[in-house]
């Protein structure tokens, strides 16, 4: 079986970003190099270490914890000394009058080592690379996007849309994710078997869950307002995860319509449908799929596919307004995303002896993508 991410150096990603530096800027620009950490956990850790609000930090993107990644943050104020911890360094590199934001990100460059390959697999990767250069590949969101739903019980955001607030809280507090540590797993096991024992849950709760459980201890049945105690950045990520699933399901429907030869690949949330080439090229209007919210206008072929996806989910656009939540700054955000991705500066090396798996081969894939495109989906396509 082909191996990726055997070690962090096998999956190297670096942001390409335009930052307007200034000699006397109000924000300090920080370079973050990390492995085994996700971006939000680094920010939370550093803010606690400095005893400051994490809202003083800003970022352009999120990077996979199972990678060697370089990205850029900003801190509102002076940040004079580098911070070095196990598996990350955070270094001030200059000043700016503006906080780092997603609009500054031009793309991400990748260098990915594929291991444990047979000669036949290595040759298939190179042949598939030629097809990708000519036809691109479906621009799905990959597994990393769905961490909050990997427990197999569904999406927190879908429960919120359907006004099942108790169900949303159960998904948050009772079902462990793959990345949860031992303390979080023990806490969630307790919550599942002692649901409504809010004081007991609070006593062993990790910091992230305590505001929710403190509120429930005082208001035992007010699940809707307890949800509002979740960190708003994470609430928005939960909404984005569900939007991303709707996008994936819509794109899979379109691929089946426009391609003659499909390959199905299962993933944690369902199935990816890949094409080898498109039977009929997507029209310009069909090349963009909206990330839907309550104000999205559903038109044309794309709109019909979205309608079918929403019908299958049993929700409507109107419900996505989350009107009963009335939570400022937390909403489904509308934007357009390419249906098909093409890698820039794309190269696949010749196979070489694998230095970890004896008798096998490895090859290196290099590419640059626009923000939001998953290199791991490209790898899945190359391995078909």
Q: Hey, which residues does 15 pair with through a beta bridge? A: 108
pLDDT at 328: 86
pLDDT at 283: 65
- Token digits for 260? 């003659």
Q: To the nearest 10°, the Cα dihedral for 53, 215, 170, 235?
A: -30
CA distance 228 to 216: 11
CA distance 201 to 217: 10
pLDDT at 151: 65
For residue range 139-166, what is the model confidence (pLDDT) as tens digits? Answer: 999 998 987 776 678 899 999 999 999 9
CA distance 226 to 214: 9
Per run of 10 residues, the mean pLDDT along the chain (length 384 residues) is 93 96 94 95 94 95 92 95 96 96 96 95 94 95 84 88 96 87 94 97 96 97 96 94 97 90 92 89 76 94 95 96 89 95 96 95 97 96 95
pLDDT at 27: 97
Which numeric CATH code is attached to 20-99? 3.30.70.3160
Structural domain boundaries in the chain: 20-99, 137-341
Instruction: Tell me, letter by letter, the H, E, C secondary structure of the chain.
Output: CCECCCCHHHEEEEEEECCCECCCCCEEEEEEEECCCCHHHHHHHHHHHHCCCHHHEEECCCCCCCCEEEEEEEEECCCCCCEEECCEEEEEEEEECCCCCHHHEEEEEEEEEEEEECHHHHHHHHHHHHHHHHHCEECCCCHHHHHHHCCCCCCHHHHHHCCCHHHHHHHHHHCCCCCCCHHHHHHHHHHHHCCCCHHHHHHHCCHHHHHHHHHHHHCCCCHHHHHCCCCHHHHHHHHHHHHHHHHHHHHHHHHHHHECCEEEEEECCEEEEEECCECCCCCHHHCEEEECCCCCCCCHHHHHHHHHHHHHHCCCCHHHHCCCCCCCCCCCCCEEEECEECCEEEEECCCEECCCCCCCEEEEEEEEECCCCCHHHHHHHHCC
Give the closest residue to 341 by CA, choosing from 262, 288, 283.
Answer: 288
Distance of CA 51 to the CA centre of its chain: 28
């Amino acid at each position: 079986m082909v191996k990726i991410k055997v070690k962090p150096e096998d999956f190297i990603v670096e942001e390409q970003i335009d930052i307007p530096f200034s000699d006397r800027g109000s924000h300090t620009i920080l370079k973050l190099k990390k492995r085994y950490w996700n971006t939000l956990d680094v920010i939370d850790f550093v803010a606690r270490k400095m005893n400051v609000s994490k809202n003083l930090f800003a970022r352009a993107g999120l990077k996979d914890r199972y990678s060697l990644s370089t990205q850029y943050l900003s801190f509102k104020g002076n940040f004079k000394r580098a911070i070095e911890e196990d598996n990350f360094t955070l270094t001030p590199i200059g000043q700016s009058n503006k906080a780092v934001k997603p609009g500054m990100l031009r793309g991400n460059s990748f260098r990915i080592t594929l291991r444990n390959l047979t000669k036949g697999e290595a040759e298939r990767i190179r042949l598939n690379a030629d097809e990708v250069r000519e036809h691109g590949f479906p621009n799905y969101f990959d597994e990393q996007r769905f961490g909050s739903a990997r427990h197999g019980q569904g999406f927190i955001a879908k429960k919120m849309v359907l006004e099942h607030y108790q169900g949303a809280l159960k998904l948050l507090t009772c079902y462990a994710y793959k990345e949860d540590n031992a303390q979080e797993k023990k806490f969630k096991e307790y919550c599942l078997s002692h649901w409504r024992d809010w004081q007991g849950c609070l006593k062993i709760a990790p910091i992230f869950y305590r505001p929710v459980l403190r509120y429930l201890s005082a208001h035992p049945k007010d699940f809707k307002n307890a949800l509002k105690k979740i960190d708003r950045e994470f609430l928005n990520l939960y909404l984005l995860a569900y939007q991303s699933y709707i996008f994936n399901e819509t794109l899979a429907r379109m691929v089946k319509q426009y391609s003659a030869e499909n390959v199905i690949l299962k993933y944690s949330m369902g199935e990816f449908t890949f094409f080898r080439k498109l039977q009929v090229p997507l029209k310009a209007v069909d090349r963009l799929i909206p990330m839907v919210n309550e104000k999205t206008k559903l038109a044309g072929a794309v709109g019909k596919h979205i309608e079918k996806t929403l019908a299958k989910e049993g929700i409507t656009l109107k419900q996505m307004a989350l009107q009963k939540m009335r939570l400022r700054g937390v909403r489904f955000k509308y934007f357009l995303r390419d249906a098909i991705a093409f890698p820039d500066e794309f190269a696949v090396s010749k196979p070489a002896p694998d230095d970890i798996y004896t008798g096998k081969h490895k090859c290196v894939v290099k590419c640059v993508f626009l923000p939001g495109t998953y290199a791991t989906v490209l790898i899945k396509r190359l391995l078909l």
